Chains A and B, each alone.
Chain A
Amino acid sequence: MGRYVTRQVIQAIPLLIGMSFVVFMVLQSVPGGPLALYENKPNLSEADLARLAERYGLNTPVPVRYWNWLSSFVTGDWGFSKSSYRYVVDMVGERLANTALLMGLAFLVSLVIALPIGIIAARKQYSWFDYLTTSFSFVGLSIPIFWSGLLAIIFFGTWLRWLPTTGTHTATLDETFDLWDRVRHVILPTMVLALNSAGQYTRYIRSGMLEVLEQDYIRTARGKGLNERLVFWRHALKNASIPLVTLAAIELPSLFGGAIITEQIFSWPGMGQLFWQAAQRSDYPVLMALIMITAALTIFFNLLADLIYATLDPRIRYK
């Protein structure tokens, strides 16, 4: 197991380097180059532009620049944001916590919704409950998140005035930490995200359960006279949870990126919003850092999923 983890980690390194190279090249290919942002400013002369290029090291060849970026990135020097006048490490650090909070809560809520629904739907296949929840899951699957977000704002924010719709806390409470205020702010974005993924989870759990129920060991368990409740809740459920781990591993990191829209709608100061702002301002160091972090998280979660599989299913052995 230890060797498996080591090998996976070692294999991840060239993957990440390759990705960073591709993204770096894409950014370099912007028409006008990295200084396109400054090109049409009337108060910047040709000489100023040349000086800026000199200062940011833009006169060196692209591979050299990439190497410079890579070697400072791995030492923790993620660069300086030209649009915010701040260090990228600090900016990302602040946002990471906000995004992780939103994602973690959304993930938990969608599991709390989807687990019982999916299990009961499988238990009573083809019942009215099954049909109802299947329709529900299709709705969750098909509803665009920017639309459910807007509807939530219109309904709960504008009409009912129950919940705040922007930011992580009320602006006047900037200095203090008011838990109730924060909870009220996190509810809408969490619910919108959770509704979206709960639909998918429900389908996944239901079909996973149904598949497990057809297995030989379930027939054996029934055959040796175990009562149906024990077979279902212990033997079947445990095995059906394995594919759920895959889903979680695929979904969690994509939630980090996928939250761009949710964060945008609810002005949630997370990584997705930061990415969008950085893309608008061609803030390359920020873009590079965010893509690398998300990619690293993806790889990490996949590895974690592999390890959880092996724990849940003793038949799985990694060499």
Chain B
Amino acid sequence: MSLYSLPWLELAIVLPLFGAVWVRRTRDVDTARLHSLAVCGLALLCTLAALTNFGGRWSVPGQWHVLVDLLARTPVAVDALNAPLLPLVSLLYLLTVLGTLRTKGVSFSFAGLLTSEAILLAALSCRQPWILIALLAAGTIPPWIELFAHGKPTRVYSLHMGLFVVLLVVGQALMSFDGGSSRLSVVASTLLMAAVLVRGGIVPAHCWMTDLFEHATLGTALLFVTPMVGAYAAVRLVLPVAPEWVLHGIAILSLVTALYAAAMALVQREARRFFCYLFLSHSSLVFVGLETATPIGLTGALCVWLSVGLSLAGFGLTLRSIEARAGRLSLDEFHGLYGHIPTLAGLFLLTGLASIGFPGTLGFVGAELLVEGAVKVSPFVGIAIVVAAALNGLAVLQAYFRIFTGSAHVASIDLRTRLPERVAVLALSALLLGGGLYPQPGVAGRYNAAAQLVRERDQRLAERRLSFRTSRTAAGVASNFQ
């Protein structure tokens, strides 16, 4: 069998599932970690292979056409939107496992990690609404299991994720079976919008995120939020069908969240809550860009999605490594850890600055595009984005100063970075700086995805308008005969 014709995407999804079953039977934490590392590495390679084969660049030998045709009927596929997201997510999972120290490995479930990776990759590869909704719902289960297993409170998380699932299901049901009624379509759009806002942690439905960061392991919380599944749901389920006012509603609420969360990040006393608010602010800016529904705004949002996903995941993983050494960090005091872990300090700063779009990093061009797209909608939106970014920049450096400077930390054990952590540092730095210095290919790719999304939206909206007109005409004719 030719390598070209292997179902790489399907393999990338199935491998972690098998890996989860295998790792669950392993008692030793170190062995479980090694096996998970191997599985995540293979999954990453499979997603890269799927990405490389995207667009049918590889030709399929004749005798395998039947098999490939069969596989083509699976609901998962690579397209312009998810092409970079799949390897990004695989990389995040790999880096999480790589950066898991033994102190963290005891309480961290590698089987749960692999299961959630499989579900997430499947969700990000899926375009059919109901299967996507089922996967999004399934994706909320592993964190709940972890919270429950550790005896942590689950109520806040359960309430919000339950609400998310219910809104998704009811909204999509109304959308699918609206019978040509524009009123039902509006209700459906509103429900889907609400679902996306809950999942995205948009104010006021954001407290589940702070609660999750407080009670779950940091690795689980990071992997649950940083891929920004809410944004993906917004693009696949809401953007193609929602009327303008729904998009404006999302944009306004997201903008308020971006500013509010940026301000909240500045006053936090705990590192985890600080990170949560910082992430909320950035992810809200992605929503703002998505809901401009213009090619340039969408391009900016998709670029920021990638840059924020990578940089804040790296930021969070760095925080996780620091926590593994120093425990939960208070931002009310100076910890002075620089002398012990200068490499992590450097990465903390690099990832934090990349997330705010500092020049030379991956986020710079995305931030510029986002502002450009937002200003075309309204100059005040552009100004608000700039203000949010400025506040986030303040928060990042404040946290850096609190954690790494201000005193001389005395430690009785060696806190230096281990080799796997240095590898993770190198990989992240290379991506953040490389992508920042040579952004054109990424931007061109995101623009293609954005243009495709706009075309799909215009097409679907035109179809729905036609459908509403047809049903109104039919209702009118029926009433005449009566």
Q: Do A and B bind each other?
A: no
